[in-house]
Chain A
Amino acid sequence: MATKFGVLEFTNAFGKQETLPTYCCGHCSDVVVMRPDRIRERKHCTHCGKLICEKKELCQIDCTPIHSLAKDHFEGAGKWGKYVPALMAGCSTVDEGVAKGLIIVP
């Protein structure tokens, strides 16, 4: 599981600077801001071990190790890169990706 976090620094409603930890979803690289009062456990991929977001269907159904794939310019991504075109075109669900022709249904 990821142990390093990004940061979001912002000015709150009272004009004070606040900092919250963030992580990037291991499957789509969307940024997730970590609320300090959350009790429920963060979701992580049992295959790549990365923390993932909980807002996209595409991130839940299969492992898309986006940072590893990006290092190789998505070449030879094979089955791991199946959802990359849909994720990078802003799709959240399989239906959206199929409708746009970005996911090929066998």
Chain B
Amino acid sequence: MAKYTYSINGTALSTSTGLLTVQTAATGAGSVVSVQEIMLGGEAGSSTVARVVFNRPSAAPTGGATAQTAEKLHPASPTATHVVATAYATTQGTLSTNDVLILGFNAFGGVVRWLAAPGEEVIVGTQGAVAYGILRSRSGTPTVSGHIVVEEA
């Protein structure tokens, strides 16, 4: 039950490429990841819509993942076996109609943070297959910073 954090450092949002994509392993360690916290802060110079969503894609991304190195919240934690990617080489995932979480805010200094109650986290994982959760803008492309915290089951 190791926890990891991934950061977003002054990244311009895109409506076609995920800010971060949580990708589980198909089986075994890392096949279930629970998202515990998502925080974003806007860095726009004027009022700008940022409608960022966490979504389970209806079509999975393809190609090699550009993975971000996991930061362990405890130094004794094992190396993460799931992947959190900033992009995929061939195609990005297609967002499904229904969002898991919508984080709408004004990126002109606005901040949004969602924190799960213990045992009530957002689950990414499925039965014997790779699962994805994409953090991506549905509307607006301002620059944002923030982080997500996940736990690998």
A32-72 vs B, Cβ < 8 Å mask (1 yes, 0 no): 00000000000000000000000110000000001100110
Contacts of B95 in A (CB 8 A): 90
- Interface status of A98 (Cβ within 8 A of chain B): no
Given contacts A4-B120, A29-B123, A31-B114, are A70 and B32 in contact (CB under 8 A)? yes
Q: Is the CB of B127 within 8 A of A74?
A: yes
What is the bound-complex CA distance between A57 and B94, given in angstroms? Answer: 21
Interface extent on A, as a size class?
Answer: 35 or more
A-B pair count, CB < 8 Å, reads 122
Q: Does more than half of chain B's interface fall in helix, strand or loop, or is it mixed?
A: loop
- Closest residue of A by beta carbon distance from B58: A90
Q: What's the minimum C-beta distance from A60 to chain B, rounded to whole angstroms?
A: 14
Contacts of A74 in B (CB 8 A): 31-32, 125-128
Q: Is the CB of B120 within 8 A of A73?
A: no
Q: Is the CB of A73 within 8 A of B32?
A: yes
List 9 A-B pairs, Cβ < 8 Å. Answer: A11-B112, A22-B116, A67-B123, A70-B153, A73-B31, A84-B126, A88-B125, A90-B55, A92-B96
Q: Which 4 A-B pairs have the closest CB atoms?
A: A90-B96, A11-B110, A90-B56, A88-B126
